[in-house]
Amino acid sequence: MKRTLATIAAGAALSACAPAAQEPETAPAPSPAQQQPAAPAAAAFPTTAPSTSAAPRIDLPDAVRRTLPNGLKVVYIQQRELPVVSALMLTRGAGTGDEPANASGLASFTASMLDEGAGGKNSLQLADALDLLGASLTTSAGVDAAQANLYVLKQNFPAALRLMADVVTRPDFPQREVDRLRQERLTQLARARDEATTIANYAFSSLVYGEQHPYGRYPTQATTERLNRAAVAAFHARGYRPENSTLILVGDVDPAQMEPLVEQAFGSWRATGTGPSLTATPATPAALNRTTVYLVDKPGAAQSEIRIGHPGVARNTPDYYALLVMNTLLGASFTSRLNTNLRETHGWAYGASSGYQMLRGAGPFTARAGVQTNATDSSVVEFFKELNRIRTEDVTEAELDKARRYVALRLPDQLETTSDIAAQYGNLETYGIDPSFLETYVERTMAVTAADLRRVANQYVRPGQSVVVVVGDRSKVEAGLRAANVGTVVVRDVSEFVK
Amino acid sequence: MKRIVLLLSLVAAPAAAQQVSIPHTTFTLPNGLQVIVAEDHSTPVASVNVWYHVGSGYEKPGRTGFAHLFEHIMFEGSKNVPEGDFDNLLEAAGARNNGSTNTDRTNYYEVMPSNAVELALWLEADRMGGLLDAMSPSKLQGQRGVVQNERRQSYENQPYGMLWETASTLLYPAGHPYSWTTIGSMADLDSARVDDVNEFFRRYYAPNNASISIVGDVNTDQVRQWVTRYFSWIPRNADVERPQIALPQLAATTYTTREDRVTLPELTMIWRSDKRFSGDEAALNTLASVLTQGKSARLYKRLVYDEQIAAFTSAWNDASLLSGDFWVRVRARPDVDLDRIEAAVNEEVARIAQTPPSQEELDRVVNTMVTGFVGALETVEGKADRLNEYLYYAADPDHAEEDLARYRALTPADVQRAAQRYLAGRNHVVISFVPTGKTALAAQENQ
């Protein structure tokens, strides 16, 4: 591959997107490099790039919204070109951010347990029934919501939806499967310490937020061993509630045809007791007053995994568009400054990137790369150069325009498949963002100015208050890191983070 | 939105009864460039996808990794496109782009709002016709460093990352073009010279050794005009002969052990199978799924679910232009002896060779496959790549229906026969990856 850019999800999806978004009349003018003088002679190969015509508009059908008597919201989005259905059941209050502090891993364990026996079928019977329908059903927990994703040909949708309903609303949590999955989790953890990227990610989040914070804790052997049937059942009973859930159906889904199926499948879903708070947001840790470099020794590593950052910003920030454009220019596209510097100019990395994980609370800002061992210190220095430069130097109009257009014009690509559309609507639902957001997305992205960009860079990029994690061969990189002098160097052990 | 579509029947019918086609138009320029256009107006996006019919299987010993290194250089500018502008222009148009290399071919693609198709075609034409006009030693040097870091990231610094290189050298005799990986060796990457780049380009990067598919919200006549205008001036080259290499059967079953910085031991078993779109490919692919896809799949159920001695199982049939390999890969739980895993795999393979799988096992696999097949065609990118793939491997871009028909026609006996013909009792390669110092866990000959 030419490149792999690790993308850091901003509130799960790349950027929220708009159906019915239209290119503004101000349809982005061709950038100077694209301008073309007169029409060239028919046979000659033109020496300048053809200009692009006005960007197309997207016409998505309206979403039809319904609410069942039990509070379950249902969104139907009809796309009739193919007889397929993507169904997304999104449940707020059942994510990793909703776990009890001493139960890291419980949300994802509960999600994994959903299809291990439900509605009278055991684990294997459920799997066989889905496979026979050619359906794929996956269950998972994000930070702010749990998800069940179904993808199936329309003709098999009614049967698959019933299985999905069993899985989400009537799981059995058989003891045997709890024991088996717990053992699988312990095996995964044992393996996690083999991977430099996992070590770096765990170390970074815990050092930025602290191990008590929902964004800083992660599963350990101790929390995994504590997972049990009672905890899973209680987490399910409390978190998986119709009034906290939204079912998004995209594809060949005529609401008139589908409503009876949905009511039959989910109408009897009832929750008991009280549910989790959906409004509380985790506190943002106090800003650090200096930058510290944490070196985690991985003897023999062929590269150093670098993470640099600090708490970022919540999804509901009014600076959303400015941040999207700023971060695109800094580290979220192939031509971004970080990738250009570390990869194209220096050749030290296969790719370098940055991103904001925008959550209900302020998720992390992270800049990252895997770099060749002998360029570890130089790479950290170049990271800091770029993090400082975006705060202190005005961007050029061409750079700004490219980033704005890249963010705005990829909209159709992000709404291409039924699953794409379901994910975008799910993201809006998770963060309570008004659907009108979608209609103004392109316009608001294109309205970001150089001044906006510099303002948000100063507010949300803080190189002097950062955590730097380097996972690499200490014997080869420590001296250089100390000499680079970007912050105090502290040596830590893998076992402090993967434990 | 995207939609390809296809004449999937809307009545409730077994998945196996559905018809799939990708309506398209083809034409060939006088210089040999084969062009495929498929209109799909469901979303205002389009993909341009160029396949050069060259991959690492065309490299020479001592110059491995070259097709892939070359792939990187293709993004670094050409006659009318200054370095950096290939990506700058596309990003400013809201496009993403990338490329990939395997043993048989290299592809380059863009996915974009449909108003940027002409720009993408112009960029592809400029590098097909004018790459060497802008070639320089510094471009080679820069991308050499990037590729070496790609290798470190994806191979050296990745647990079990050296499996692929180990397998290639064991499966194919020295000098065979599949006996090295597409990423190449560090030493060969170090010794690549600008002359090699130039020679490689002149030999393989010609319109008559390429095909291009344009899929999405486009007008076929308009696309034909653009393609004709931008690509017609590029001269054709001498035809490239596809390698035809007689491949001896594996002479024996061999055991190889590698120590790695890993916690879990892992066993990989690989058999020689059959070429892409050859007679037994569909049965082999299905056999792989019967073994490891889904909770009731035989190896998964036995090793992960019931006995709980494995962390995961996977099996796949990797079919290429010159040959195919059938892989079974099982990652064990800590300290599990790989002899035990190997014995289980051999038993399950023998069981299928003796008794065909049930019709229901087959239906589960095929129905899941059909959904995945349709899903892969939901994007213009997937559809464009599929058209080029069919053209290259099956000499017919309109091969979707035939492709699916192979699976529809499969019987349990076909799967049984594939297990007999290629796996049960056949020579194969056994590779153990074990934690450093724990070589006693490795699978051993004559256990």
Nearest CA in chain B to A85: B375
Same domain, A309 and A393: yes
With H, G, I as helix, E, B as strand and everything else as coil, classify residue A341: helix
Task: Answer whether B70 touches A (CB < 8 Å).
Answer: no
**A406 belongs to a structural domain:** yes
What's the pTM? 0.92
What is the average pLDDT value for chain A, to the nearest integer? Answer: 91
In this prediction, residue A327 carries a pLDDT of 98
- Tell me whether strands A64-67 and A73-78 are parallel, antiparallel or unpaired: antiparallel
Complete edge-to-edge strand list for the sheet that includes strand A349-356: A349-356, A364-372, A303-311, A467-472, A292-297, A488-492
What pLDDT is attached to residue B11?
A: 29
Distance separating alpha carbons of residues A349 and A370, to the nearest angstrom? 6
Q: Which residues pair with B326 in a beta bridge?
A: B271, B317
What is the distance between the alpha carbons of residues A408 and A447, in angstroms, rounded to a whole number? 10
Q: Is a pLDDT exceeding 60 seen at residue A18?
A: no
Contact between B98 and A134 using a beta-carbon 8 Å cutoff: no
Cα–Cα dist A305/A497, whole Å: 15
| CB of A120 less than 8 A from some CB of B | no
A340 and A221 together in one domain: no
Question: Are A430 and A323 members of one domain?
Answer: yes
Pick the residue of A7, A157, A187 with the most B CBs within 10 A to test the interface with B by mutation: A187
- HSE-up of residue B419 (Cα within 13 Å, Cβ side): 26
CA distances from B419 to A333, B295, B347 (A): 46, 21, 12
Range of the domain at A187: 64-266
B3, B56, B111: best to mutate for the A interface, most A CBs within 10 A: B3
Q: Does A441 touch chain B (CB under 8 A)?
A: no
Q: Which residue has the higher pLDDT, A309 or A287?
A: A309
Name the residue among B54, B87, B79 with its Cα closest to residue B132. B79
| CB < 8 Å from A in window 106-165 of B | 111-116, 118-119, 122-123, 125-126, 129, 141-146, 148-150, 152-154, 156-159
Using the 3D structure, point to which of A250, A266, A282 is the last residue of a domain. A266
Flag whether pLDDT at A15 surpasses 50.
no
Same-domain status, A363 and A425: yes
Query: Quick check: A99 pLDDT over 80?
Result: yes
Same domain, A261 and A306: no
Residue ranges, chain B, pLDDT below 70: 1-18, 447
Q: Residue A271: inside a domain, yes or no?
A: no
> Is A29 within the bounds of a domain?
no
Q: How confident is the model at residue A44 (pLDDT cuts 50, 70, 90)?
A: confident
Answer whether residue A128 is part of any domain: yes
A304 and A249 in a common domain:
no
Shortest CA distance from A151: residue in chain B: B371
What does residue B102 show for φ and ψ, rounded to 5 degrees? -130, -165
- How far apart CA A6 and CA A435 sit, in angstroms, is 28
Q: Which residues of B touch A411 (CB under 8 A)?
A: 94, 113
pLDDT in tens, A346-365: 999 999 999 999 999 999 99
In this structure, which amino acid lies at residue B390? Y
Number of structural domains found in chain A: 2
Domain with residue A118: its CATH number is 3.30.830.10
Q: How much of chain A, in percent, has pLDDT values that exceed 70?
A: 91
Instruction: Indicate the residue of B88, B122, B154 with minimum beta-carbon distance to A50.
Output: B122
CA-nearest residue of chain B to A333?
B91
- DSSP-assigned letter for residue A496: G
Q: Is residue A30 a part of any domain in this protein? A: no
Q: Is the pLDDT assigned to residue A13 strictly greater than 90?
A: no
Of all residues in chain B, the one with the smallest CA distance to A344 is B142
Distance CA B402, CA B390 (A): 10
pLDDT category, A405, cuts 50, 70, 90?
A: very high
The 10 Å Cβ neighbour count of residue A255 is 17
pLDDT value of residue A437 = 78
Contact B144, B160 (CB under 8 A): no
Please indicate whether, in this complex, the C-beta atoms of B367 and A49 are within 8 angstroms of each other. no
> Could you tell me if B408 lies within 8 Å of chain A, comparing CB atoms?
no
A404 and A300 inside one domain: yes
Which helix (DSSP H) or strand (DSSP E) does residue B100 occupy? strand B96-101
A158 touches chain B (CB under 8 A): no
Tell me, yes or no, if A25 comes closer than 8 A to chain B by beta carbon.
Answer: no
Which candidate in B146, B158, B301 is best for mutational testing of the A interface (most A CBs within 10 A)? B146
Q: B96 CB near a chain A CB, below 8 Å?
A: yes
What is the model's pLDDT at position A4? 56
How far from A305 is each of A197, A296, A350, A375, B420, CA to CA, in Å? 6, 10, 12, 11, 46
User: Using the beta-carbon criterion (under 8 Å), do A155 and B305 form an inter-chain contact?
Assistant: no
Name the residue of chain B whose CA is nearest to A421's CA: B1
* A105 assigned to some structural domain: yes
Distances (CA, A) of B52 to A169, A443, B34, B130, B293: 51, 39, 11, 15, 33
Interface test with B, best of A128, A153, A343 (most B CBs within 10 A): A153
Kindly state whether residues A491 and A438 are assigned to the same domain. yes
DSSP state of B304: I
Q: Which domains does chain B have, with CATH numbers?
A: 25-232 (3.30.830.10), 254-441 (3.30.830.10)
Residues of B in contact with A343 (CB under 8 A): 146, 149
**Residues A260, A364: one domain?**
no
A318: β partners: none
Q: Residue A280 falls within a domain, yes or no?
A: no
pLDDT digits (tens, 9 = 90+) for A182-207: 999 999 999 999 999 999 999 999 99
pLDDT confidence tier of residue A43, bands split at 50, 70 and 90: low
Q: In b/e form, how buried is each residue of A385-410, taking b as 16+ CB within 10 angstroms?
A: ebbeebbeeebeeebbbbbbbbbbbb
Among B88, B160, B225, the strongest candidate for a mutation testing the A interface, having the largest count of A CBs within 10 A, is B88
Residue A276, domain member (yes or no): no
Q: Which helix (H) or strand (E) holds B388?
A: helix B380-394
Alpha carbon distance A180, B263 (integer Å):
19
> Is some CB atom of chain B closer than 8 A to the CB atom of A100?
no
**A340 and A208, same structural domain?**
no
What residues of B are in contact with residue A151 (Cβ under 8 Å)?
371, 375
Q: Do the Cβ atoms of A49 and B123 come within 8 Å?
A: yes
Q: Are residues A239 and A324 in the same domain?
A: no
> Among all residues of chain B, which has the CA nearest to that of A188?
B311
A376 and A472 share one domain: yes
A35 touches B at CB < 8 Å:
no
